[in-house]
Amino acid sequence: MLIIAHRGASGERPEHTLAAYERAIDQGADYIEPDLVATKDGVLVARHENEISGTTDGAERPEFAARAATRMIDGQEFTGWFTEDFTLAELRTLRARERLPELRPANTAFDGLWQVPTLAEIIALVRAKEAGTGRRIGFYPEIKHPGYFLDIGYDLAALLVEELHAAGYRSADDPVFIQSFEVAPLQRLDTMTDLRLVQLVSAQGGPADLPDMAYAAMLTPQGLADIAAYADGIGAELRLLLDDEGASTGLVEAAHAAGLVVHGWTLRKENVFLPPLARLGDEPPGIGCEGSVWQALERAGIDGVFTDDPGRSSMWRQGMENLLCDVAGTQLRK
């Protein structure tokens, strides 16, 4: 399976920082995954959401107190500080922080050390690490809320393609996947680039740009065939791929039959994110048995997995069985 570093090595460093991406690369990740949003002056930067009060110190900066706003995004109301209200120069004065401090307190030691990176900086990092390691490092960007951004004048799809093509990423053979939970942006991208595209799907809800469409309907044989008309794969929530005992649900096989690759999201080590059979103890931040989930995903035949801990996933992929949990009742069914 491909190891896709989910927002970098976000289990060890504040997500979407150059440090998180570099650590993931050093740990053997095949791809790094930046989520992309736009600044006021139209620059693509990496943040999980365009609302940044939880991932930067922006809410505590008195000079930006007046920037607090309430926005309706994909049918939900959010109040906070938004990237589209900051120029790149203003955003660069902020510092990144750990998004999940209650689960990953060790990561808070790095709060305040790094800026919000631009897409150009992430590409430069990848190129430098490729030169230093002699291996190709993949790039797996997600455009966040593209419909919302298009409505306020920012075409994330066009901005991304322009920057990737200028950097030499143009072919389906290049190590790039572009992903989105929405459908129309991927259909547009299919006419704009030969780079590979991935339709993200969740166990609940549906695409923000198709309010009458459920993701469940997109995962029927006909729905998968429709996806295959514009995309090269699906990025599916893990509980869509494995049942409660770790057996394949059949979605991997159905997607492969439609000619789609399957990447699963997201493998994390903390109990709170793991299926019951892979948890160790009752504490949500406790480290569970995610190596067993890795094994179950391998048996299901998926092509890649998003992980917050690429170093640990690299060990699972190398078959370091001694690192797998041995406690009775914690192994997922073989």
Q: Where are the domains of the chain?
A: 2-50+120-323
Secondary structure of residue 15 in the 3-state scheme? coil
- Counted residue by residue, the chain has a size of 334
pLDDT value for 325: 63
> Could you read off the pLDDT of 89-129 as tens digits, one per residue?
999 999 999 999 999 999 999 999 999 999 999 999 999 99
What whole-number percentage of the chain has pLDDT above 70? 96
Q: Tell whether the torsion through CA atoms of 29, 32, 263 and 105 is positive or negative.
A: positive
Sheet holding 196-201, edge to edge: 44-46, 35-38, 142-143, 177-180, 196-201, 233-237, 261-267, 304-307, 2-6, 31-33, 138-139
Over range 169-180, report the average pLDDT. 98
Query: Does the model's pTM come out above 0.75?
Result: yes
Over range 241-245, report the average pLDDT. 94
| Rounded CA separation 291/326 (Å) | 11
* Least reliable range by pLDDT among 246-250, 276-280, 296-300: 276-280
| Rounded CA separation 152/38 (Å) | 11
Which two tokens mark 152?
A: 């306020």
Over range 64-83, report the average pLDDT. 97
Whether 332 shows a pLDDT value over 50: the answer reads no
Whether 324 shows a pLDDT value over 80: the answer reads no
pLDDT value for 319: 82
CATH topology of domain 2-50+120-323: TIM Barrel (3.20.20)
What is the pLDDT confidence band of residue 328, given thresholds at 50, 70 and 90? very low
Which two tokens mark 268?
A: 């994390």
Residue 74 half-sphere exposure, CB side, CA atoms within 13 Å?
16
Which two tokens mark 181?
A: 């939970």
Identify whether the C-beta of residue 231 lies closer than 8 Å to the C-beta of residue 197.
yes
Widest distance between CA atoms in the chain? 56
**Of 217, 140, 153, 221, residue with least CA distance to 183:** 217
What is the rounded average pLDDT for all residues in the chain? 95
Which sequence positions are flagged as catalytic? 6, 48
What whole-number percentage of the chain has pLDDT above 90? 93
pLDDT value for 277: 85
> Could you read off the pLDDT of 180-230 as tens digits, one per residue?
999 999 999 999 999 999 999 999 999 999 999 999 999 999 999 999 999
Kindly give, in sequence order, each residue whose CB lies less than 8 Å from that of residue 278, ignoring residues fewer than 6 positions away. Answer: 288, 289, 290, 292, 293, 325, 330, 332
pLDDT value for 118: 98
Strand partners, 36: 46, 143
